[in-house]
Structure 1
Amino acid sequence: MKKIFILAALLVSLASFAQNPAPGGAQTKTIALMGGTVHIGNGQVIPNGVVLFSNGIITNVVDGTTVRLDLTNVETISVAGKHVYPGIISPASTVGLQEVGAVRATVDKQETGILNPNVRALIAYNTDSEIIPTIRNNGVLFSQAMPQGGTVSGSSSVMMSDGWNWEDAVLKKDDGIWLNWPNYLAREFSLEDFSTVVRKNERRTQAIEALRTTFTEAKAYAALTNPMPMNLKLESMKGLFTGKQNLYVRADYGKDIIEAVTFAKSLAIPNVVIVGGEEANRVVGFLKENNVPVILSALHRLPNREDEDVDLPYRMPGILHKAGILVALSYADEWWRTRNLPFLAGTAAGFGITDKEEALKLVTSNTAKILGIDKLVGTLEKGKHATLFVSAGDALDMRTNVVEHAFVQGRKVNLDDRHKRLYKQYKDKYEQK
């Protein structure tokens, strides 16, 4: 009897912990979002728009004041006074790969070793992560799961924020290989006085030579028609030389950016993307000349050099944008803050990018182009996936972005999350007093 009581108490206690909502069911009926301000994602805005989608695909986006549609057997949702946006895309993310940084068992973002091109972040992606519902509630409906660690970390994949498992959630598999370029300068943090010491990286030359050997072997391997025996490490890099995969290079210093891009070009790798780019403003001409896009890290920080303007990180997207460089925004290592990604674009809109719709591109269409998914998502256009959300206000403003509806490939997403449950729990508690 005592054992039965203990078991019952345990079941009750487990039931008190709410679970993430189940993924949305497949779209069964055509849906029309009526009367909202539609932000296409390419700079165009339709003040009184209608977005029609069926079987997970957008079938029409029109101006409701001039075009009349046959809405027979269509589920209509009035979004008058609200705003409709394409799903926001979070590149260079570890959402789904780590849950609690201090709990090792919940972190699966890297493998041991230095050269791991065959490692796939895809199969480590956890669709049950409690972080995923929180990012959906600010309109972030895609994330690029990236590997970390070593010099060559592995391959990333673009994931949707709704799915039972990684097979359901994946939008694009193995979109690129990640390379940590050996820094010219190494930063070391001192626990004694909490200062950062910057010194020359003495092992840099040796590391670059090892990289050159690996990539040269990979290029030769890629030229073989039917290599036997198969080399899994080199096999995973074949797409770099055909343009099927991007080479994502983490580099911040101007010297490192130039050397990394020159290295890739010498090996005839067509698609190179700089990630981080803290000193990208110092090599703008080089990036433009080589047509290299940049995924910037978090803007809400101080500059790393004492002699730089305090608002330089805020102005960086505008500097690159005005130079004609394709630029996107990310939170990189700060996975827990990914939900705030749209507000980085809002910051950029106040510091150099004067047009809010151009700022929106930094987290939608620009990112889609860089990741090679722009034919599927990134804008609200006919034929693209119906992955979009409705906000009560400006999605780039944290004061007004209140997501009321979200759809992933036409599936209506439940917008419950742990933040909302905790808010309600303690709101109810203290309102009773």
Structure 2
Amino acid sequence: MKKIIFGLLALCGLQAQAQNPAPALPQAKSIVLTGATIHVGNGQVIANGVVAFDKGIITAIGGPATTVDRTNAEVIDLSGKHIFPGIIAMGSTIGIQEIASVRATLDFEEIGDMNPHVRALIAYNTDSEVIPTLRSSGILLAQAVPQGGFISGSSSVFNTDGWNWEDAVLKKDDGIWLSWPAYLSRSFNYDDYSITVKKNEKRADIIATFETFFADAKAYADVENPSPVNLRLAAMKGLFAGTQNLYVRADYAKDILEAVKFAQKFGIKKVVISGGSEALKVADFLKENQVSVVLGALHRLPGRQDDDVYAVYELPAKLHKAGVKVAISYDDEWWRVRNLPFQAGSATAFGTMTSEEALAFLTLNPAQIMGIDAQVGSLEKGKQATLLVSKGDLLDMRGNVVEHAFIKGAKINLDDKQKRLYQKYKEKYGQE
């Protein structure tokens, strides 16, 4: 019996050692960061700058001559370093998906086609071992998005640190996600690895279903105190009231046009296109109707065989120059979101824009799209002190060495599972 108890205690000790670091404590004293190059997030760069924050809020920011009360403050000299706003990862399954091969860890999809009442909010898992690996690349905020069906549910925005979803959430139910049926359907043949493209015969029926559902939802929203309560229709009220975005997954130009016009028909003003591979073809329409685009993964081949091989990398800059508000996401693999900064780097290298403009695709633009720009997205007095310190260029693999990170002024422990594994096997194979 003693051996069994000792063995269980030993296992408990090993398990405890493998846990994620505890969430950061609230900021206890004023912090002043000096000497670094500050990338504000709105295109402005401040050399040898100063950032001060207290109780989680930025109290001062500017050049070396900026007056800051340093009484009882923790002053950190960051000469030669760079300060950036926390990166925001949109359109992901961060926190609601852990291990693809373990079904019990997948909480991003429900049965059924029309699920606007499904909320990523209460499914978000702050104990995910993926989340700390993202912080090490500078990702301090994430939008968790349900998947599956035609209407997947509502997304919420989280800080990547917290004891539970109540601690971590920054904005609840920021929008409803709709998958627009593509005009063309693609099927992959595993025998000869060929792709067949044909007209989507089910498309008209699906859109007709949308017409009925949205008409019902709008009529329901107009009723002051509906009885009985319909959870599905009640979840759509924010779209018609203008308090939520309608995120539409669409890639083809024809689909983008139809989806936006469909939303406008029902009085939905806040429409965001997710994916948008052919958004450039309808850029004037998007600009005119103030429709933002959240591009998916850029590190891939173009969708059409006759496209330039660099077309995907060039797309963000071209949309930006056309006057369309752009954000960059990593929508194909949740664990690869850690590479999100380098997608903006690729967009800079292959596009006619500055790295500061590309930085906005990961910070200020996502914040504006989701309606959280009064709190985060850029480094300005009065906003939350959600920022990071990197050894070099955050958008470059060689310079992206995050040394400090703060979420609402709280200093984040940057340890993660991959770093622990690195140290473990470094010691093993470093032995003689």
* Fold-level similarity (TM above 0.5): yes
Matched, 1:42 2:33: no
Alpha-carbon displacement from aligned partner over 1:326-356 (angstroms, at most 9, x marks no partner): 0000011311111111111111111114311
Distance 2:276 2:388 in 1: 30
- In the TM superposition, what are the counterparts of 1:118-267 in structure 2 within 5 Å? 118-267=117-266
Are the counterparts in 1 of residues 50 and 66 from structure 2 also a CA contact under 8 Å?
Answer: no
Residues 353 and 128 from structure 1, CA distance in 2 versus in 1: closer, same or farther, beyond 3 angstroms? farther
Distance 1:61 1:330 in 2: 28
Structure 1 residue aligned with 2:101 = 102
Q: Equivalent residue of 1:398, what SS?
A: coil
Structure 2 residue aligned with 1:432 = 431
Are the counterparts in 1 of residues 52 and 68 from structure 2 also a CA contact under 8 Å?
Answer: no
**Runs of 4+ residues deviating >3 angstroms:** none
Deviation, structure 1 residue 11:
3.0
Deviation, structure 1 residue 228:
1.6
Q: How many residues align?
A: 430
Deviation, structure 1 residue 286:
1.6
- In the TM superposition, what are the counterparts of 1:325-404 in structure 2 within 5 Å? 325-404=324-403
Distance 2:43 2:394 in 1: 15
Deviation, structure 1 residue 198:
1.6
Distance 1:8 1:147 in 2: 43
Moved more, 409-418 or 224-233: 224-233
Alpha-carbon displacement from aligned partner over 1:58-93 (angstroms, at most 9, x marks no partner): 1110211x2332311111111111000110000001
Seq. identity, %: 60
Distance 1:277 1:119 in 2: 24
- In the TM superposition, what are the counterparts of 1:31-70 in structure 2 within 5 Å? 31-64=31-64, 66-70=65-69
2:304 partner letter: R
Q: Equivalent residue of 1:221, what SS?
A: helix
2:34 partner letter: M
2:77 partner letter: S
Q: TM-score under structure 2 normalisation? A: 0.98
Distance 1:349 1:10 in 2: 53
Are the counterparts in 2 of residues 94 and 333 from structure 1 also a CA contact under 8 Å?
Answer: no
Structure 1 residue aligned with 2:13 = 15
1:262 partner letter: K
Distance 1:353 1:172 in 2: 33
1:204 partner letter: R
1:52 partner letter: A
Distance 1:389 1:181 in 2: 37
Distance 2:160 2:7 in 1: 34
Deviation, structure 1 residue 14:
4.1
Distance 2:268 2:170 in 1: 24
Could you list the runs of 5+ residues in structure 2 that have no partner in the other structure?
none
Alpha-carbon displacement from aligned partner over 1:362-416 (angstroms, at most 9, x marks no partner): 0000110011110110000011011110001110111111111101111111000
Alpha-carbon displacement from aligned partner over 1:156-202 (angstroms, at most 9, x marks no partner): 00011000000100000000000000111112222212222222111
Matched, 1:79 2:52: no
Distance 1:94 1:159 in 2: 12
Q: Equivalent residue of 2:43, what SS?
A: coil
Structure 1 residue aligned with 2:3 = 5
Are the counterparts in 2 of residues 349 and 359 from structure 1 also a CA contact under 8 Å?
Answer: yes
Q: Equivalent residue of 1:143, what SS?
A: strand
2:263 partner letter: A
Distance 1:22 1:319 in 2: 42
Moved more, 111-120 or 194-203: 194-203
Structure 2 residue aligned with 1:24 = 24
1:32 partner letter: V
Matched, 1:116 2:111: no
Distance 1:219 1:85 in 2: 42
Distance 1:365 1:35 in 2: 23
Structure 2 residue aligned with 1:285 = 284
1:343 partner letter: F
Alpha-carbon displacement from aligned partner over 1:181-231 (angstroms, at most 9, x marks no partner): 011111222221222222211111011001011111111111111112211
Q: TM-score under structure 1 normalisation? A: 0.98
Distance 1:70 1:293 in 2: 40
Q: Equivalent residue of 1:310, what SS?
A: coil
1:6 partner letter: I
2:305 partner letter: E
Are the counterparts in 2 of residues 247 and 271 from structure 1 also a CA contact under 8 Å?
Answer: yes
Distance 1:351 1:10 in 2: 55
Distance 2:189 2:6 in 1: 51
Distance 1:317 1:5 in 2: 62
Q: Equivalent residue of 2:260, what SS?
A: helix
